[in-house]
Amino acid sequence: MFQAPASAQTPRDRQPEFRRPRPAHGAGNGGRPRRVLAPYLPARLDRDARLREAQRLAALSVRAVLDGSTLPVALDTFAPAEREAPGRRRALVQELAYGTLRHWGTLDALVRLLATKPIAEPVLHCLVAVAIYQLERTRAPSFAIVDHAVNAAAALTRPAAKALVNALLRRFLRERDALNDAVLADPVARWSHPRWWIDRVQREYPENWQEMLAAGNARAPLALRVNRRVTTQEALLSAFGAAGLIATPAGEHGIIVEPAGPIRAMPGFDEGAFSVQDLGAQLAAPLLRILPGQRVLDACAAPGGKTTHILELADVELVALDTDAARLTRVRENLERLHLGGRQVRVVAGDAGTPAQWWAGRPFDRILADVPCTASGVVRRHPDVKWLRREADVDSFSRQQARLLDALWTCLAPGGLLLYATCSIFDAENEAQMTAFLARHPETLRETLMFPPGAACRGAQLLPSLPGASHNQDAFFYALLRKP
């Protein structure tokens, strides 16, 4: 079992002192000390080059998302982590790209207002947006942000682009307040969501639509789930404290770490003491009311967060199913790291909507149907979703969900429970989906669900949290159905 260290004191390797060279004196300098720059220039140049390159790569990543790529794929293309020594540049590129997309509605409007005519190169438009994001929401010096962006412009397109980027950013600094006031008249710029999304949330959540949209633009905390087969919440909190990490308990098995840091460097990662999982997602496995010895199906299992949670809670016979065979590799990796691979678990590639492909006919006592959806409830973690989705996707996902539900219902044993789950806030994927299913299967019983104290909800819909909430969660929908 992973245990916290006996003492909170962590020895530090003593760093060798760096002594500043003695300043030279010369007659030509009037006897004053001459500044010795040579020892410092390479480090400063390296740092400037890294920052400039981070802006360039972030702009390319944002542009790729606007052209239809997901942000993780874009980052792997332009800033693959394996090329970095400790991954420092990747972390900065990721911060700039995520932050820019989180506030893209506002930033895009500002760039359009600054430019007297559309910028010919779309990636330059993105670069200016990245720089404005830094000017507005980071502590980096304004002169450095502008200087790096100007040089990044030349590397992105052509040397002449430097003058354009310099003029736009300096105008923004001069007229910042007036420009910000001007763009906020547009709802897309005000709320940084697509217009159809804003209208839909306003219609479906008339009492708190503004809080819902604001929560989608907030930073999500780093939430971890303690592997209770390896350690305890108290022991892991103690280990984090000894390592100088600020961590607080959340729920029965959760921990919030703020500020976030490199996951693999945290105490207990290699020992399988925890997984990264949002507090809202941590509710799925307990809501299934699993008992030891039952047959359980995780119908849309990749990347394995809920699969491993089920195995941490009880000794069951589990089938982890997913259509994407490549993503099932992540499931196997997570099972191995969390020391769950030796348990009764079978990882299977197959379509949950076509049981004949993978099911031998023996029914399951519990089924988790965490179905594909718009992911509209997790945009604070995945801001690219806001700009990739189209309104027609809501109906498309709804039809797919209905197909999966009807197919999986045939695999459930009499008296068994099926937990329907989405990370969506749209009614068509959630409550309306349940209404339609119960109409098709009137014999179905819908169980009452109890959420933890402090978890904001509207019926079965968990609402996204604003920073500072006692149960800081993404938005999820859960419905527990029993087969008579």
Number of Cα atoms under 13 Å in the Cβ half of residue 143: 0
Closest CA to 128 of 158, 104, 95: 104
Question: What are the pLDDT digits (tens) for 341-360?
Answer: 777 999 999 999 999 999 99
- Tokens 């009614």 belong to residue: 427
Partner residues linked to 319 by β-bridges: 297, 346
Side chain identity, residue 393: D
Distance CA 114, CA 108 (A): 10
Which of 300, 373, 411, 423 is catalytic? The answer is 423
Question: What domains are there in the chain, each with its CATH number?
Answer: 41-184 (1.10.940.10), 222-276 (3.30.70.1170), 281-482 (3.40.50.150)
What pLDDT is attached to residue 44?
59
Mark whether 373 is an active-site residue: no
What pLDDT is attached to residue 26?
39
Give the containing element (helix H, strand E) for 119: none
What pLDDT is attached to residue 20?
33
Distance CA 444, CA 462 (A): 23
Q: Do residues 255 and 333 lie in contact, with contact meaning Cβ atoms separated by under 8 Å?
A: no
Q: What pTM was computed for the model? A: 0.88
Dihedral of the alpha carbons of 398, 404, 407, 409, in degrees to the nearest 10? -90
What pLDDT is attached to residue 466?
87
Q: Do residues 186 and 107 lie in contact, with contact meaning Cβ atoms separated by under 8 Å?
A: no
| pLDDT tens-digit profile, the chain (484 residues) | 676 655 444 333 333 333 333 334 334 444 443 333 344 445 555 788 889 999 999 999 999 999 999 999 999 999 887 554 444 678 999 999 999 999 999 999 999 999 989 999 999 999 999 999 999 999 999 999 999 999 999 999 999 999 999 999 999 999 999 999 999 999 999 999 999 999 999 999 999 999 999 999 999 999 999 999 999 999 999 999 999 999 999 988 999 998 988 999 999 999 999 999 999 999 999 999 999 999 999 999 999 999 999 999 999 999 999 999 999 999 999 999 999 977 799 999 999 999 999 999 999 999 999 999 999 999 999 999 999 999 999 999 999 999 999 999 999 999 999 999 999 999 999 999 999 999 999 999 999 999 998 899 999 999 999 888 889 999 999 999 999 9
Question: What are the pLDDT digits (tens) for 240-281?
Answer: 999 999 999 998 899 999 898 899 999 999 999 999 999 999
What pLDDT is attached to residue 81?
72
What pLDDT is attached to residue 247?
97
Distance CA 478, CA 369 (A): 10
Distance CA 265, CA 274 (A): 12
